[in-house]
Structure 1
Amino acid sequence: MNNRNLLPLAIALLMFPQIAQTLYSPALGDIGRVFKVSPEAAAQTLSVYFLAFAVGVVVWGRLCDRIGRRPVMLVGLAIYAVATVIALRVSSFNGLLLAQGLAAFGAAVGSVVTQTLLRDRFKGAELAQVFSLVGIALAASPAIGLFSGASLVEAFGYRGVLIALVLIAATLWLWSCYALPETRPQQTPHVCVWETLARMLRDLGIWRSALWIAAFNVALFSYYSLGPFIFQRLNLDATWFGYSGVILALGSGFGAWANRRLLQAGCAAMQLIRLAAVTGLLGGIGVWWLQDSGAFVLPMLLIVLAFGMAIPNILGLALVNYSDRLGTAGALLGLIYYLLIGAGMMLAGWSQALGETLIACSAVALLLTIRATKAIV
């Protein structure tokens, strides 16, 4: 399979974890009602998802270096489908959390293995361009997830969402079985995971990348976690939360498109990350200012625009010094940033303060750009 034919499948696999998360978000209110738990408890299902996702990233990333990209992808997707079927059968909230954790473990394969596939096939500026193109496609994920999730919950409750997720996972498994190539280099050096971890933990650039990724992701997903309950507090129909995904997708898509054009014009990645951090900070202030009105969705456009602009550049830069161990290094980087995301989502769920969360995340991202510039100088 040539690189052009690989991209549609790779984009679909990368979209899968994000669609799974956003499709699930509108179901949080129904989950709280069915299992009789508080909004804070229901919101923690996304925290569990990210923490289990972090474990999956390590396992699948390590295995894709050991046994290959293709078999690992097929096993991970199968585990996700089985775990989601289990979630349909549980009768307790703790059972749902356990099933959600197992599903997240499987879904992680779509992130780490697909990124490794792309790093196998593309290098340098070409890789940044590919991630920008992927970012444009990923911008559709919130619209697809939130709108579809809200419609499914309204018609069938949270179980409708789970059934849809099973069908998506099965479709991706069949597509991958038919079309996914094996891209692992034939001569793969033996890589010690502990030596790689020690090296990465001493690498300030890795910590900077992980904190950047975590900050922009917590800002984005705190809306999906807290949004349903904000709409309830404002007495707005739950379906409007789904419609908001369309608006946010426009912002994310514009951010990814602008990022690609600015890269083509010769802008440096660090400049674009800094611009994204400033944009996110302005959006966070706007959400905080309008938090008692449905208009708070409008400054969220700046948050998703910042996400679409920053993430492709961060991912393109993160592992340039680990080209001999991309699967393992990608897994360990994922472990670090998904643990940070999980912790951030727990704090966001506990605080139930969207505006303050967005301001804090964007401020951290902006501070890191200043520190990065000093380090380069």
Structure 2
Amino acid sequence: MIQRRVFFLLAALAAFAPLAIDLYLPSLAHIADSLRTTPARAQQTVSVFLAGFAVGMLLYGPLSDRLGRRRIILIGTVVFVFASVACALATSIEQLLMFRIIQAFGGGAAAVVSRAIIRDLFDEREAARVMAMVGMVTSFAPMIAPMAGAFILQLGSWRYEFVALALFGLTCIIGSHRLLPETLQQGHAQASMGAAFRGYGTVLAQPAARRLIVAGGAHFAAMFAYITGTPYVYIQWFGLSETLYATLFGSNIISLVAFGYLSSRWVGRLGPAKLALWGSRWALAGGLLVALAALPGQTDQWNLAGMALGFLMAVGSIGWVSPNTMAQLLAAHPKNAGAASALYGCAQFGLGGLASVGVSWLHDGTARPMAAFVMVFLLLAAWASWSQNRPAAHPPECLPD
């Protein structure tokens, strides 16, 4: 069993992205005023972070397969800390955008390598259980971070939020240095840098691995469509207050935690493959409710209830899908666990960014664009999960390295 202190350290490392994105969201308008730029330009600090985070994961994954997990986490987190301080000192939006990319590039190490560490320490089912538990803890970050950011903003400046991120990163550096052993076994380390980066080809050559990556990434993208679209849909289309919107948003986080808890309890008996398949079916049913609630002219309370219930199912099911697809993928690639984790994370943030941009671009004053992207990605995820588990595809797991 993993030590409690190490578990919470891994959860903190996995939370770099939601904290670095959500903590300063209440300050975007203040940033625009302070740096004399437009709100749209300030919003780009979120987009560039997502891009930098994905690129960082692609670099750090293979590096951790060659050089070890602990060293890469420390290097990436140091970059994150210095970039966070630079963001706090930025005097123009151009500087802030540049430092946000560097910050994201450093933070990608913590997210991708923490999952590889779990793979190093546990077998497939136990890894799925631990990942579900880590996901339960990190799911609270999107709910807590904006409130913490609003509190910090009251202290006087949006710059203090980036100081807080630097302090968070520094705490993770100290914790990693003191608590994390090197988990990459000598026999699993790649022999050279070339071999480490060729791990991407090894992973992607397997159809089963590609299906697992698509299933996890597409579910994550559906959630990004929900995050992007619901502020307008709930507040403007359905006419809800900001407080009620926040309540509905929080309820989805609670559902995500609840599904993660069930996954951690059931995976030992049912196995990761079956739980991931159930999650895909549950999410697709929720997506259908969202699509029906978004029909033209439908803005009554029944449709609101249907959409809220649909998102509880669709978002919550990520607590089943994500840890179990990830555990299956990493279990099959012990020598390329970092590369496999990077591909999975890049698919999540890449498809998530595509969903977010698509919902914004196709905005037409209704809930239809959001519902369409939710359904498209959930159908894609369901196809990947069902293809992975159909009888003709046995055994459903990837072949090992």
TM-score class, shorter: 0.7 to 0.9
2:124 corresponding residue in structure 1: 124
Distance 1:209-1:231 versus aligned 2 partners, 3 A rule: same
1:356 corresponding residue in structure 2: 372
2:139 corresponding residue in structure 1: 139
- The answer to which of 103-112 and 11-20 deviates more is 11-20
1:376 corresponding residue in structure 2: 393
2:53 is equivalent to residue 53 of structure 1: yes
Instruction: Return the TM-score normalized by structure 1.
Output: 0.85
Whether the aligned pair in 1 keeps the contact of 2:285 and 2:313 (CA below 8 Å) is yes
1:179 corresponding residue in structure 2: 179
Whether the aligned pair in 1 keeps the contact of 2:283 and 2:313 (CA below 8 Å) is no
Secondary structure of residue in 1 paired with 2:182: coil
Residue of 341, 349, 370 corresponding to 1:330? 341
2:111 corresponding residue in structure 1: 111
Q: Which amino acid aligns with 2:362?
A: S
**What is the count of residue pairs matched by the alignment?**
376
Residues 284-309 of structure 1 show CA distances to partners (whole Å, capped at 9, x for unaligned) of 33773677998766643333212222
Alignment of 1:272-351 (within 5 A): 272-282=278-288, 284-285=290-291, 288=294, 299-351=310-362
Shift of 1:12: 1.9
2:382 corresponding residue in structure 1: 366
Shift of 1:55: 1.4
Alignment of 1:127-206 (within 5 A): 127-153=127-153, 156=156, 158-187=158-187, 188-190=189-191, 192-206=195-209
Distance 1:367-1:29 versus aligned 2 partners, 3 A rule: farther
Residues 233-277 of structure 1 show CA distances to partners (whole Å, capped at 9, x for unaligned) of 578776766655532321111111222333244262343232343
Unaligned runs of 5+ in 1: none
Residues 17-41 of structure 1 show CA distances to partners (whole Å, capped at 9, x for unaligned) of 22222324444454456554355x5
Distance 1:323-1:67 versus aligned 2 partners, 3 A rule: closer
Whole-Å separation in 2 of the counterparts to 1:318 and 1:52: 24
Secondary structure of residue in 2 paired with 1:319: helix
1:257 corresponding residue in structure 2: 261
Alignment of 1:22-37 (within 5 A): 22-31=22-31, 35-37=36-38
Residues 341-368 of structure 1 show CA distances to partners (whole Å, capped at 9, x for unaligned) of 3333332343344333322222221222
Q: Which amino acid aligns with 1:248?
A: N
Whether the aligned pair in 2 keeps the contact of 1:25 and 1:224 (CA below 8 Å) is no
Larger Rg: 2
Whole-Å separation in 2 of the counterparts to 1:97 and 1:162: 13
Unaligned runs of 5+ in 2: 364-368, 395-401
Q: Which amino acid aligns with 1:190?
A: A
Q: Which amino acid aligns with 1:350?
A: W
Residues 60-93 of structure 1 show CA distances to partners (whole Å, capped at 9, x for unaligned) of 2222223222222122112112212222232433
Residues 88-126 of structure 1 show CA distances to partners (whole Å, capped at 9, x for unaligned) of 232433332222211111111121111111111101211
- The answer to which of 162-171 and 262-271 deviates more is 262-271
Whether the aligned pair in 2 keeps the contact of 1:30 and 1:153 (CA below 8 Å) is no
Q: Percent identity?
A: 25
Residue of 219, 224, 240 corresponding to 1:221? 224
Shift of 1:171: 1.8
Instruction: Return the TM-score normalized by structure 2.
Output: 0.80
- The answer to which of 289-298 and 267-276 deviates more is 289-298
Whole-Å separation in 1 of the counterparts to 2:45 and 2:245: 18
Q: Which amino acid aligns with 2:345?
A: G
Residue of 246, 250, 263 corresponding to 1:246? 250
Whether the aligned pair in 1 keeps the contact of 2:132 and 2:263 (CA below 8 Å) is yes
- The answer to which of 119-128 and 29-38 deviates more is 29-38
1:79 corresponding residue in structure 2: 79
